[in-house]
Every structure is written in C-alpha cells, then in structure tokens.
Amino acid sequence: MSKNPGDVFAKHLYPDISDELRKCSLRLPESLAENYEVLSCLKYSEQTATYLLRQKSVNRTVLLKTASDPIFATALDNERNILDMIHRQGTSDCAAFPISLELYELKGTHYFIRSYIQGRTLEELCESNYKKPGLPEGQALLYILQLTKQLHFLHTLDPPVIHRDIKPQNVVVDTNDICHFIDLGISRFSKSREEKNSPIMGTQFTAPPEQFFNQPADVRGDLYSLGVLLHYCITGEYSISEASLKELSPALRKVVSTSTKFHPNQRYQTADELLKNLTAVHHTNKISVAKQ
Amino acid sequence: MNDASGKSGITTSQLLSMIKKSEQFSDIAEVYHDITETPVFCHYLYDIMEKHRFSAKDIISSSGIERSYFYHILSGQKMPGRNMILRISLCMRATLTETNQLLRLSNQGVLYAKVRRDAAIIFAIEKKCTMQQTNDLLLSIDEAPLYREGSS
C-alpha cells in the first residue's frame, strides 16, 4: 500500500461522520447536558451503553453508563449504592474504587456517571501480548496480590460485599500499574435476602461452580474466581488442566489448585488466608530468583 | 459456505434445506452417519494453511507468535483469542470468509462491519495488508491494536 492505510480508511470509509459514529448519537438529557459533553462511545447495545464524557466545570473525563432495560438499570443503581458505601468508609482502601458521581433517570433510561480510570483491562493486557497470551508470573502475582487485598476490604465491610463478577474484563490496570475492580453491578451485600439469583450471573469462565446450582454467593466464590483469574493472567487460559498448571511455578501451582477446588469447603475460606499464601509464594519466588 | 463433510461432500446449506423439508428428524438422521466430522478449529486452520501454502514455520516467523504456543494451537491443546486468530489470518492472507469461519469455530464474534475496529480489520484484509500494517492502521485510528510490541 503506497498511502498510509489509516488515512485511506479514515478519510474514505469513515470520513467526517466518524465523530458522530464515535458518539453513537447519544443526546444527553438537558440537566446532564448542562454539565457534561459526550466525548466518545466505548460500548453499545440496545440495553446498555458506555460513554466517555467531559465534565465541563473541571475539564476532566468521566464515565457514563446508560441502561434502558430494567435489569441493567437495577445493576446501575446497585453499583452506585455499593460504591457510595465503600467511600463512606473513608480509609485508604477506598482509593482503588471508582467514585460514583451522579445517578439520573429520564423516561425509563438510567444514567450513571462515575470517575474514569484510564488504563487497560487485564484481558487486553494478556491478549495483546506479542508472543503468546499471558503475563510473566511475577507481574501477575503482584496484580493479584493487590486485588486480594481489595477483596479482603470488600469482604470485611459491614455488611460484607461479595463481588460476584471477577473476570479479566472487569479489572483495569492504570498508568501507575495499580489494579482496580471496575464493575460492581452485580455485587451483593451478603446478608441481603432477595437471593433468587438475578438473571445476570457471573461469566461462566470465572464463575464458581456453586453459582450454577443457584447457591447463595459467598466470599469463597469470589476467591475461586480470583484463582481462575490468576491462572488466566499467566497462561492466557481460563480452563485449568494439569498441562496448564505446569506453566506456573510449583509454589503457585498449589495456591491456584486450592483456590479453585470444586467444593467451597476445600478452598481458602477468607481473602486473608489467600493473601497469606500468595505473599508466601511471592517471597519464595523472589528468593529462588535471587539464588540464580 | 462449504465445509467438506465426509465422502458425501454435502454442504451446510444443503443440510439446512433437507432439515427444513423433512417431517421427522429420523428421515435425515441417516445423512449424519456419513458426515465424518463437524469442523474443528485446529483442523480447519490446518486446511487453510495448506490451501494458502503457509507452513507453521512461516506463520511463526511472520506473526511473532511463540513457537511452542503456535504448535499448541495446531494440536488443539490451546484455543487462541480473537486478536491472535486475526494475526494468524492476516499472516496467511486468508480471505474474509475464511477469517470469519476461523472466528466462528473458536467461539469468537465474527468481524462485523458496523463495529469501527472490525471495519478497519475487514478493510485491511480486503486490501491484503500485512499484520504490521493492520496493527499500525488500528493504532492510527485510535482503536485497540491486535498486539503491542515490546510486550514479552
């Protein structure tokens, strides 16, 4: 190709309408349009969409999620409540979580605005590797250690918050290499009673087996998902097999196997327990690297 | 869409029209005895490689995919993600139809022209761009690339 393919594509196929396409023709309700301007559309479906907005007063980028389907709308409300509850704690642990800014409803569509965390999802990081999917074990371990601490924070709130949807698409690594859980839409307070599990369940790849038998979610389900996530970050695979486990260091193999046992009773029972075991692996691996 | 199905060489569209016409499934169940296999991703990949005359070694060197990982894909031990498949497809100069079939067989979404990033990749396939050119194109229009250089 003699010309830069990018120029040809942009100019001839997506010319000046590319701006409109990016915005996906979203018109903000008046009261929001006063304070925000649509920058681009990140995701779009009939029921729910995600956009980047510019908050005019402070000239910063924020995230908007819209939902017209009642189930997705409930998830937005839920996410707002959980984020608010998290930040009410006022501790340093809150810093990792997005801040809810506004929740607005107009004619059946819910609009939820929260702070925007710039970075790449764990999925994108792992899948866009040049040679093969997956991160070096040391890097993956550091990320999962961060996430385990955040999970410990959620699980020890009063009432405890179960995440229920831990997967590589729901973790963003920011420009300072800090991990953030970004979608708490189906998280639950563990004591809440409406537990006919909502139709939106966790993704089948990382969801704990008991979720498919309609068991109430508990902390050990989150720990299962975290184990699958750790394995995924290193091997690029969701399904755990003897072969895939061989790609992990012996110390880590044991931790991943324990976290992902079929029966919750055989897994680590708390995030703290998992944290201790992961930290031990981290030290073991550091020592063996130092010895080489 | 043609996929060679055993000795009868029956196509998917022929199968569909038989299913629609028959009153009972048992009428056509016979046909399925002749079909030796439903298409499997790694077998189809191998067929396309043969068709375009690309060996594993060729694809490994042009795509930058790690050798052992690529052989795991070929043997069916590992299933690559969407970006990986697109990289392999571009290196082989596979057609859009073949690329979408590869995506379908690995349970990934096919390339959909309404999605801007997909449209750019379709454009690159049609223009016979290389994997690097396609990656540069995506970066230049502010879309997520297929791969990032410098990552291990």
- Distance, CA of A97 to CA of A77 (rounded, Å): 16
Sheet containing strand A171-174, edge to edge, reads: A119-121, A171-174, A179-181
Whether residue A124 sits in one domain with residue A157: yes
Residue A184, Cβ density class (10 Å: 0-12 exposed, 13-18 middle, ≥19 buried): buried
- Distance, CA of A157 to CA of A188 (rounded, Å): 12
- Which long-range contacts link A206-211 to residues 24+ away (Cβ below 8 Å)? A206/A166, A206/A167, A206/A168, A206/A232, A206/A238, A208/A264, A209/A262, A210/A264, A211/A164
- Does the CB of A44 have a partner CB in chain B at under 8 Å? no
Whether residue A191 sits in one domain with residue A237: yes
Percent share of chain A, pLDDT over 90: 67
* The model scores a pTM over 0.90: no
Residues of B in contact with A22 (CB under 8 A): 116
CA dist list (Å): B27 to A34, B5, B49, B109: 66, 19, 37, 33
Contact A101, A115 (CB under 8 A): yes
> Does residue A198 register a pLDDT over 90?
no
- Which of B84, B141, B150 is closest, CB to CB, to A9? B141
- Using one digit for the tens of pLDDT, what is the confidence trace for B55-67? 999 999 999 999 9
ipTM metric: 0.73
Contact B139, B145 (CB under 8 A): yes
Return the residue matching tokens 């506004």.
A102
What domain range is A72 assigned to? Answer: 30-115
Whether residue A104 sits in one domain with residue A165: no
- Does the CB of A95 have a partner CB in chain B at under 8 Å? no
Contact B90, B62 (CB under 8 A): no
Whether residue A124 sits in one domain with residue A187: yes
- Using one digit for the tens of pLDDT, what is the confidence trace for B75-116? 988 889 999 999 999 999 999 999 999 999 998 889 988 778
> In this complex, do B149 and A127 lie within 8 Å of one another by their Cβ atoms?
no
Whether residue A63 sits in one domain with residue A104: yes
Contact B125, B96 (CB under 8 A): yes
Q: How much is the pLDDT for A266?
A: 96
- Mean pLDDT calculated for residue range A51-67: 95
> In this complex, do B119 and A130 lie within 8 Å of one another by their Cβ atoms?
no
Q: How much is the pLDDT for A279?
A: 96
A1 belongs to a structural domain = no
CA dist list (Å): A263 to A187, A260, A266, B69: 21, 9, 6, 32
Quote the DSSP letter at residue B97: H
- Distance, CA of B14 to CA of A105 (rounded, Å): 51
Task: Return the CATH number of the domain spanning residue range B41-140.
Answer: 1.10.260
Q: How much is the pLDDT for B5?
A: 42
Residues of B in contact with A10 (CB under 8 A): 140-141
Whether residue A165 sits in one domain with residue A147: yes
Quote the DSSP letter at residue B8: G
> In this complex, do B69 and A5 lie within 8 Å of one another by their Cβ atoms?
no
CATH at residue A264: 1.10.510.10
Of A46-60, B39-53, B137-151, the poorest mean pLDDT is in B137-151
Whether residue A209 sits in one domain with residue A128: yes
Whether residue A283 sits in one domain with residue A196: yes
**Beta-bridge partner residues of A104:** A111
**Beta-bridge partner residues of A179:** A173
Whether residue A124 sits in one domain with residue A202: yes
Q: Which two tokens stand for residue A208?
A: 């704990």
Whether residue A85 sits in one domain with residue A59: yes
What b/e string do you get for A88-119 counting C-beta neighbours within 10 Å, with b at 16 or more? eeeeebbebbbebbbbeeeeeebbbbbebbeb
- Using one digit for the tens of pLDDT, what is the confidence trace for A91-126? 999 999 999 999 999 999 999 999 999 999 999 999
Contact A202, A193 (CB under 8 A): no
- Using one digit for the tens of pLDDT, what is the confidence trace for A157-197? 989 999 999 999 999 999 999 999 998 888 887 655 444 44
> In this complex, do A133 and B84 lie within 8 Å of one another by their Cβ atoms?
yes
Q: Which two tokens stand for residue A66?
A: 């819209």
Of A71-80, A264-273, B18-27, the poorest mean pLDDT is in B18-27
Residue type, B83: N
CA dist list (Å): A217 to A19, A163, A199, A225, A251: 43, 9, 14, 12, 28
> pLDDT category, A5, cuts 50, 70, 90?
low
A163 belongs to a structural domain = yes
- Distance, CA of A158 to CA of A144 (rounded, Å): 24
- Closest-CA residue of chain A to B131: A130
A19 belongs to a structural domain = no
- Using one digit for the tens of pLDDT, what is the confidence trace for A11-44? 666 554 555 555 566 889 999 999 999 988 888 7
Whether residue A237 sits in one domain with residue A138: yes
Contact B49, B98 (CB under 8 A): no
Name the domain count of chain A: 2
Whether residue A147 sits in one domain with residue A222: yes
Q: Where does a domain end: A115, A142, A170?
A: A115
Minimal CA separation from A271 to chain B, in Å:
30
> In this complex, do B148 and A5 lie within 8 Å of one another by their Cβ atoms?
no
> Does residue A147 register a pLDDT over 90?
yes
CATH at residue A68: 3.30.200.20
A25 belongs to a structural domain = no
Closest to B38 in 3D by CA, of B13, B6, B76, B79: B6
Contact A269, A240 (CB under 8 A): no
- Distance, CA of B17 to CA of B19 (rounded, Å): 5
Q: Of the spans A78-87, B12-21, B36-45, which averages the highest pLDDT? A: A78-87
A7 belongs to a structural domain = no
Q: Where does a domain end: A115, A148, A171?
A: A115
- Which of B123, B127, B151 is closest, CB to CB, to A129? B151
> Does residue B12 register a pLDDT over 90?
no
Domains of chain B, residue spans:
1-38, 41-140
- Which of A9, A236, A237 is closest, CB to CB, to B137? A9
